[in-house]
Amino acid sequence: MKPKVLVIRTAGTNCDKETEFAFSSAGANTTLRHINYIKQKDELSDYQIICIPGGFSYGDDLGAGKILALEFICWFKNSLKKFVAQGGLILGICNGFQVLVKTGILPDLDFKQKVTLTNNDSGRFEDRWVYLKIRNQKSEIRNQKREIESVWLEGLPEVFNLPVAHGEGKFYAERSILDKIEVSGQVALRYVDQNSQPKGYPFNPNGSLNNIAGITDASGRILGLMPHPERCIFRHHSPFWKEREVYPWGLKFFANAISYFK
Amino acid sequence: MIYRVDVFSKTKESCPKIASQIKDLGIDKDCKVYCNKVYFIDSELSTELIHKIAADLLIDPIIEDYSLAQGLFTQLPSYNRILITYNPGVCDSVSLSLEKILKSLLLSVKSTRTAKFYEFTGLDKNDIGYLAPKILYNPLIEYVLDYEKAKGLKNLDEFSGKDYKFDLVTVDMLNLNPKELIEISINRCLSLSADEMQIIQEYFKKLKRNPTDCELETIATLWSEHCAHKTFRGVIEYEERDKNNKLIKKETIDNLLKNTVMKATKEINSPHCVSVFEDNSGVVRFNDDYNICFKVETHNHPSSLEPYGGASTGIGGVIRDILGTGCAARPFASVDIFCFSPWGIDYKDLPKGLLHPARIIKGVIKGVRDYGNRMGIPTVAGAVCFDERFLGNPLVYCGTLGILPKNKSFKKSKPGQLVILCGAKTGRDGIHGATFSSKELDEHTVSLTSAVQIGNPIEEKKLTEAILRARDANLFTAITDCGAGGISSAITELAQGHGVEVELDKVSLKYRGLNYTEIWISESQERMVFFTDKKNLKKLKQIFEEEDVTFSVVGRVTDTKKLILSYEANRVCELDLDFIFNLPKLKKAAVWVKKEESDCKLEEKSNYNKELNKVLSSPNIACKDWILREYDHEVQAGSVIKSIYGISEAAVNDASVVRPDLSDKRCVSIGLGINPFYSDIDPYWMAAAAIDEALRNVVAGGAKLDKTFILDNFSWGSPGNPEILGGLVRAAKACYDFSTYFGTPFISGKDSLYNEYMVGKKHISIPGTLLISAVSVIDDWSKTMTSNFKKSGHLLYIVGFTKPELGASEYFRGLGIKEGLVPKVDKNKAKNIFLRLSKAIGAGLIHSCHDLSEGGLGVALSEMCLSSNLGANIFLAEVPKEPGMLDYEVLFSESTSRFVVEVEKDKSEDFKKTMADSALGLIGCISSERKLIIYNAGNKEIINTNIDTLKESWTQTFKEFR
């Protein structure tokens, strides 16, 4: 049985078709639905994976992801909780990540906004490739309990490239919240340079605190990230495919989610 | 009751960006600016609920806070606080989104509005009055709320119009003389000539009645230069004269378009062309299931007045052209090409009525970015040229490509079908846009405010999704976009063969107060018209409701060959379609006076390091990665070759390649050719060079000529001036000559004339500018090519023949030299070079390939080094060239049809064999030392420069924009 994936779109979502394509290429049974349709027939529990793709939902009017986040809270709060309790996976890419933090699904699934993604330090939208490093800090939880390696990140190399394209991607939280996320090992991805060292702009393209590019919930099953894995599923997506061997690591995110249910 | 919510950052920081812009204006004071986002909410909800709305919806609670008050003003006015909001009727997309979500949450609000609040410290009243319209708002679309006028407002509705009561207006013209007729044309802003007005008078004399205002407006719109292309389709009496003004050649050209551009396409008769010069864009074959289409438009006039709005509605418009092609295509890539004035001019030297070029540059780029990015269409390529003459009249070209199913490539319509208008609601936006763009700009242009609009990309995104779903469900048979002239031209053109009746009161309006004529000619953005059968309405309604897009049945197709309009059952227009579409042919005179080209030799220098760095830093050549990075050039995941890339460094490619269909390995390559400077010597060779450049770009990216198609976009001065029109004829003739020569047909094109402006009493015309956009279908993405060096030790060849052609070149213009020979495409050799190079790339013999354009060999080599962080050793002795050429000529000549190619040693014999009789020279090799070293024909070192120095020159020019 192919796992069932629901890709949710609304006015202004614009990475939906390639995200659907990426999941399908990885072997999923993917459905792309408008939120107005889902509001009519709440069917979240029919799926194993939910993805909120990138774009400018509602034009980012009132702030990136803000209106869609409010819709999620008003219409799907309980069904989302149920979905996660059933063992479902959630992926939020770019605008989807913004929605996940503004609903409060990330970091703690308590529907309280604790962190934000705000205007890039550069003050403008930028599309560029970055180096990403998989979570590296040993967390207490990891040491004490099981590895909470996120299912989404399995098998990825320590450092790899993906593209980012956003104007509001600076990860920001108050110090105490940030420390908590760090300690619990919820930072999934960080911006680094080619030597896997933290470095400023343009390696950290937006000024994110602690170079955070993506976080998970405590279970690792909910991932939000600013980079676009769905834009790195063919070799030719890499800017360097004509000069060296490259592997489309973005595809791995989707494949991981599929194999989790196999 | 009106509530006011002010949103500000928790840290209450000032805005350093605005402060630095104030310094740029020449106000050298220690000032601070604080900015709040302001929301006005007109509602009877309780204060508690408004607090909740503010806290839950209007702020980001992690970083922002708000204050809530009643009324428009929270404090008594003071000179250092200003509140800026949109003019009534200008699209306020944030307020539309806010109203929508509040409505869906069942919170009743009457209306909302957004504004910006600024508070200044350290500035006096005069400073603020001076700077505000320069950097904080554009009076064409926004205004400063006046305390005295606004304090008494009871509700926000008073911002918008009053109710309209029907009142039929007729224009008394049957008995007027020609002079009086032309006065009507001028007073009503119809842009119709005396002859045309007389023809209209004759028509109504036959009908024995006066026209209604609506009828006159309809004719003016459909006969406008913008809609009808009167110059290109008219009769031109063309003369060529020698430098002594002796007549050499005389001919009458009946329809320049048919005799040049379209004639070439007809003669080439490519089996890959599906629909050319018929629809809203040119359609060619892609694979067994799909065709692709391409259209490029200009939006020059609006961009000169309101750069952000002008550019955003420019790209919005061309996207709708793609949606309106066949039975709707899906847009998959965009390109944007700009011509600006250099931005160094001091504010006080700026002629009255013009915006500062820096503001135009930033506004235009932001407009394209915000619209294209929100639409989710990758903007994959572009070009920018700088010349002083673009000061009052910048050029903004926007192009979009689409993909559509083969069986949806043509429209069908029949009487009895319903006329559907869908998308955004109709307002007073852009009234007279079509007639306005057929005029020259002057200081008074500013009074034509309603011609300026700003776009709402989310509205268009929703519209796109709804239309594509309806297309796939076979729910309509013909579609077109509302562009210039709004529904008046869209509906009339789509119903051309039949006849149509429209009920104007069925059109959904943004606000009250529009009269029937305004509804008919409004150019409100983000609207489309389609024809469908009644049985489809239910399914259409379902789709459009889910996508949240307005649609209304506004009329029906008839078989009467008449255009009939009514408003509340009153007939307001009845015109014969045959009359409207049989517009009088304009007769114009054109003359081309041949200039004697004079060669110009400079004194040779012993070293050209400085010169090379200077050329690299010219704004025409310097790296524009900062622009492309602001565009989402990878959305839709089709990116194969990026025109600009690199992580911490910038690198460039000639072509941009994308895959429109991820399940097919075929891809599409896009190339652009533009060089307005050559026009100053001869527009014929300017056009030839533009075609050559666009083709060089795609060929260097791995494309082949037989699956390459081109588009023409002319931006020219006033065709009323015979010499200017003569140049246009020259350029069009070159289009025919070189399109047929290369076998690459034109599939679409557009012209924008009257690109002139007045400074005082002086006319300034732009240089005649032709943009050629090339699109190629490549069979396999893995066979594409990039421009950066791959490996040290690889050999470097120059392909093509070099002549001392530096007339209007980057090098000569940098030195202020006006003489010199303009580059001429060699009809005996160019095509052979392209064909053989394509073959070599296809056979895998080449590692990198870069074309030589502005700045010649010196710049091409530098860019290849910069894009790879490798160096090169080059020997000019091996460059195939005319005898006796000087070093700087070999370095900076802009001779066409040339490339630098990287080949590994083992393949060099095969490569040479493949290139056969083409001019070819082994000029050196790539080195791991990060230096570009060039030796002249006498093997003396004339350039030895570090890559970092080159990089500095290449990237510092646009510092203030980065």
> In the listed set B100, B125, B159, which residue is the last one of a domain according to the structure?
B159
Please, what is the average pLDDT of chain B? Answer: 93
* DSSP tag of A170: E
Residue B39 domain flag = yes
Residues B430 and B506 in one domain: yes
Burial code of B808-833, b = ≥16 C-beta within 10 A, e = fewer?
A: bbbbbbbeeeeebbbbbbbeeebbbb
Residue A222 has which token pair?
């909910």
C-alpha span between B736 and A6 (Å, rounded): 52
Interior angle at CA A96, CA A91 and CA A101, nearest 5: 90
pLDDT in tens, A76-106: 999 999 999 999 999 999 999 999 999 999 9
Lowest mean pLDDT among A129-143, B522-536, B740-754, B885-899: A129-143
| Omega prior to B719 cis, within 30 of 0 | no
Burial of B541 (0-12, 13-18, 19+ CB in 10 A): exposed
Q: Strands (DSSP E) along B680-824, which ranges?
A: 708-715, 746-752, 756-759, 762-765, 769-778, 795-799
Are B718 and B765 in contact, with CB atoms under 8 Å apart?
yes
Q: What is the CATH number of the domain that holds B150?
A: 3.30.1280.10
In total, the C-beta contacts within 8 angstroms joining chain A to chain B are 158
pLDDT band at B12; cut points 50, 70, 90: confident
A114 touches chain B (CB under 8 A): yes
Burial code of B843-852, b = ≥16 C-beta within 10 A, e = fewer?
A: eebbbbbbbb
pLDDT band at B347; cut points 50, 70, 90: confident
User: Which entry of B51, B226, B498, B794 is annotated as an active-site residue?
Assistant: B226
Are B771 and B715 in contact, with CB atoms under 8 Å apart?
yes
Are B388 and B349 in contact, with CB atoms under 8 Å apart?
no
Please give the pLDDT value at position B157: 64
Report the domain count for chain B: 3
A17 touches chain B (CB under 8 A): yes
Question: What is the number of other CB atoms lying within 10 angstroms of the CB of residue B332?
Answer: 23
Q: What is the CATH number of the domain that holds B934?
A: 3.90.650.10
Q: Do A128 and B647 touch (CB under 8 A)?
A: yes
Residues B128 and B211 in one domain: no
What's the whole-number mean pLDDT along residues B798-810?
A: 97
pLDDT at B891 exceeding the cut of 70: yes
Residue B738 domain flag = no
**% of chain B exceeding 90 in pLDDT:** 81
pLDDT band at B444; cut points 50, 70, 90: very low
Question: What is the number of other CB atoms lying within 10 angstroms of the CB of residue B316?
Answer: 27
3-state secondary structure B775-792: EEEECCHHHCCCCCCCCC
Interior angle at CA A117, CA A116 and CA A121, nearest 5: 125
Q: Do B62 and A125 touch (CB under 8 A)?
A: no
Please give the pLDDT value at position B148: 76
What one-letter code names the amino acid at B476?
A: F
Alpha helices in B122-175 (DSSP H): 125-131, 147-150
H or E stretch at B300: helix B300-305
pLDDT at A6 exceeding the cut of 90: yes
Please give the pLDDT value at position B833: 97
Pairing outcome for strands A170-173 and A115-118:
antiparallel
Backbone angles phi, psi at B750, to 5 degrees: -160, 150
Written as one string, the DSSP assignment of A220-241 is S-EEEESS-GGG-SSGGGSTTT
pLDDT at B950 exceeding the cut of 90: yes
Residues B476 and B577 in one domain: yes
* Among A7, A9, A14, the residue to mutate for chain B (most B Cβ within 10 A): A14
Burial of A181 (0-12, 13-18, 19+ CB in 10 A): buried
C-alpha span between B819 and B807 (Å, rounded): 6
pLDDT at A73 exceeding the cut of 80: yes
Please give the pLDDT value at position B445: 40
pLDDT at B448 exceeding the cut of 50: no
Are B402 and B322 in contact, with CB atoms under 8 Å apart?
yes
Lowest mean pLDDT among A240-244, B117-121, B243-247, B434-438: B434-438
Residues B808 and B936 in one domain: yes
* DSSP tag of B897: S
Residues B445 and B551 in one domain: yes
Scanning A55-94 for CB atoms below 8 A from B yields 55-56, 58-63, 66-67, 70-71, 74
Interior angle at CA B5, CA B2 and CA B8, nearest 5: 160
Distance between B895 CA and the closest CA of chain A, angstroms:
29
Q: Which residues in B lie closer than 8 A to residue A54 (C-beta atoms)?
A: 635
Residues B461 and B523 in one domain: yes
Distance between A159 CA and the closest CA of chain B, angstroms:
14
Residues B808 and B898 in one domain: yes
Residues B211 and B92 in one domain: no
Residues B76 and B213 in one domain: no
Residues B91 and B103 in one domain: yes
Q: Do A11 and B630 touch (CB under 8 A)?
A: no
B568 touches chain A (CB under 8 A): no
**ipTM of predicted assembly, 2 dp:** 0.95
C-alpha span between B516 and B499 (Å, rounded): 20
pLDDT at A140 exceeding the cut of 70: no
Written as one string, the DSSP assignment of B41-102 is EE--S-HHHHHHHIIIIIS-TTTEEEEEEESS-SS---TTEEEEEEPTTS--HHHHHHHHHH
pLDDT band at B89; cut points 50, 70, 90: confident
> In the listed set B558, B583, B608, which residue is the last one of a domain according to the structure?
B583
pTM for this prediction: 0.95
Nearest to A256, CA basis, from A225, A223, A213, A217? A223
What's the whole-number mean pLDDT along residues B76-89?
A: 85
Residue B640 domain flag = no
Query: B923 or B134: which carries more pLDDT confidence?
Result: B923
B356 part of the active site: no
CA distances from B17 to B34, B79, B135, B596 (A): 11, 21, 11, 51
What residues contact residue B183 under an 8 Å CB cut-off, 6+ apart? Answer: none
What residues contact residue B210 under an 8 Å CB cut-off, 6+ apart? Answer: B170, B171, B172, B173, B174, B204
Residue B851 domain flag = yes
Residue B88 domain flag = yes
Lowest mean pLDDT among B225-239, B678-692, B795-809: B225-239
pLDDT in tens, B64-75: 999 999 988 877
Residues B114 and B186 in one domain: no
Q: Which residues in A lie closer than 8 A to residue B659 (C-beta atoms)?
A: 236
Are A51 and A6 in contact, with CB atoms under 8 Å apart?
yes
The domain in which residue B42 lies consists of 2-159
H or E stretch at B298: strand B290-298
Residue B757 domain flag = no
B785 touches chain A (CB under 8 A): yes
Strand partners, B38: B6, B115
H or E stretch at A190: strand A187-192
Domains of chain A by start residue, with CATH: 4-260 (3.40.50.880)
Residues B444 and B556 in one domain: yes
Residue B223 domain flag = yes
Are B693 and B674 in contact, with CB atoms under 8 Å apart?
yes
C-alpha span between B589 and B723 (Å, rounded): 9
Q: CA B174, B179, B184, B189 torsion: positive or negative?
A: positive
Query: B20 or B853: which carries more pLDDT confidence?
Result: B853
Residue B136 domain flag = yes
Strand partners, B66: B7
What one-letter code names the amino acid at B868?
A: S
C-alpha span between B806 and B232 (Å, rounded): 32
> In the listed set B125, B159, B193, which residue is the last one of a domain according to the structure?
B159
Written as one string, the DSSP assignment of B345-372 is --GGGSPTTPPPHHHHHHHHHHHHHHHH
